[in-house]
Amino acid sequence: MAQRIAVDGGQSGTRMRIDGLGEVDAGPIYTDRPLVGQLRGYLSTALADLSGPAEYELAVGISGLTPANSRPDELLAACRELGIVRVALAHDSVSAYLGSNGWNFGAVVAAGTGIVGLGVSADTVGRVDGWGYLFGDAGSAYWIGRAGIAAALRAFDGRAAATTLEALTVQHFGPLPELYVAVQSDPDRVSKVAAFAVVVAAAADDGDLVATQIIDDAADELAHTVCTAARNVAPRWPAPPRISWTGKVITGNDALRARFVERVRASIPDADVAAPLGSPLDGVARLFDAPQGHPLGREIALAAHR
């Protein structure tokens, strides 16, 4: 029987769960580069720690997967010499949903470096946002980090209220007059700006009003996204929708999560707003197990050696 590999590929890092090895961390998935080569490189490095030949089923939930890039056959061919005999490939909104809601109907927002919302009813799947750091991802870590830096620059200019974020931005990125050039030229700029979200959240916890407003706005954006995802597939609910979340932006910030839950419950009073059942990696591991006829099955691309 083939062993299983689950890969959760994100813009700040990749997490893999490999039978016989456990969980392994790898680098980020760059959405402006070919996905297959990045995945194969991370898998090759991880599997080098295992001795002896083996066959694997590879399940992948990945950020930035567009319909044109959803080519499981290509991934299967590229990884054949690693022992991969079967592939399941899905957008990370699908694996995040399965991690948080399982096969229940409802909606989930995944909030990490980027964000995406997914609504699932008995016969319909609808995605909201997930448009990347340039055009969307409202409420994401990148969005929060960028808002914090923008607030610091406005304060530096005298265009907005003073904020501790000004000094904190200097500590993390250097002199403000040099910041935009330094960040724009950094190939890891997305993850570094996203990492600044933790600083913004800490400033909010310390009472900085500007930072607090950014965190509140992020919670409102995330609630709006998940409620929109739910409504886009309503009213085809066989039961009250289960609405949940995943990602460190929400799970790691009590104040943001409390406001998010409050906003969702106010917007969709009959929803079952509940904590995630598991992690995105748990959701990736479910990609091979879609119940017959479940609408999420249509979102999972499969390939196998004959």
pLDDT of amino acid 291: 92
pLDDT of amino acid 147: 98
- The answer to whether the beta carbons of residues 271 and 106 sit under 8 Å apart is yes
Closest CA to 190 of 8, 64, 30, 42: 30
Stated length of the chain? 306
163 token code pair? 């904020």
At residue 305, does pLDDT exceed 80?
Answer: no
> What is the mean pLDDT of the segment spanning 121-150?
94
Task: Give the separation between CA 154 and CA 146, rounded to whole angstroms.
Answer: 12
For residue 118, the SS3 value is: strand
> What is the mean pLDDT of the segment spanning 230-256?
89
Most confident residue range from 58-72, 75-89, 93-107: 93-107
> What is the mean pLDDT of the segment spanning 20-46?
82
* Sheet order of strands, 272-273 included: 125-128, 115-120, 106-111, 242-246, 272-273
218 token code pair? 């992020």
Task: Give the separation between CA 99 and CA 84, rounded to whole angstroms.
Answer: 23
R_g of the chain computed on alpha carbons: 20
- The answer to whether the beta carbons of residues 137 and 130 sit under 8 Å apart is yes
pLDDT of amino acid 240: 84
> What is the mean pLDDT of the segment spanning 189-198?
93
pLDDT of amino acid 10: 78
Task: Give the separation between CA 280 and CA 92, rounded to whole angstroms.
Answer: 8
DSSP letter at 296? G
Residue 143 to residues 1, 110, 113, Cα–Cα distance (Å)? 44, 14, 8
Element (DSSP H or E) covering residue 191: helix 189-205
Closest CA to 200 of 154, 246, 169: 169
290 backbone φψ class: left, alpha, beta (φ>0; ψ -120 to 50):
beta
> What is the mean pLDDT of the segment spanning 274-296?
93
- The answer to whether the beta carbons of residues 161 and 210 sit under 8 Å apart is yes
Residue 236: pLDDT band (50, 70, 90) is low
Better pLDDT: 47 or 222: 222
Task: Give the separation between CA 159 and CA 154, rounded to whole angstroms.
Answer: 5
> What is the mean pLDDT of the segment spanning 101-114?
94
pLDDT of amino acid 168: 97
Most confident residue range from 173-177, 218-222, 279-283: 218-222
- The answer to whether the beta carbons of residues 226 and 108 sit under 8 Å apart is yes
Q: Which residues contact 170 (CB under 8 A, 6 or more apart)?
A: 152, 176
- The answer to whether the beta carbons of residues 7 and 43 sit under 8 Å apart is yes
Transcribe 250-280 into DSSP letters.
HHT-HHHHHHHHHHHHHHSTTSEE---SS-H
pLDDT tens figures, 48-81: 876 666 788 999 998 777 766 777 888 888 888 8
At residue 27, does pLDDT exceed 80?
Answer: yes
User: What average pLDDT does the chain have?
Assistant: 90
At residue 153, does pLDDT exceed 70?
Answer: yes
At residue 287, does pLDDT exceed 90?
Answer: yes
> What is the mean pLDDT of the segment spanning 209-238?
92
pLDDT of amino acid 38: 83
Closest CA to 39 of 3, 94, 76: 76
pLDDT of amino acid 238: 66
288 token code pair? 């091979």
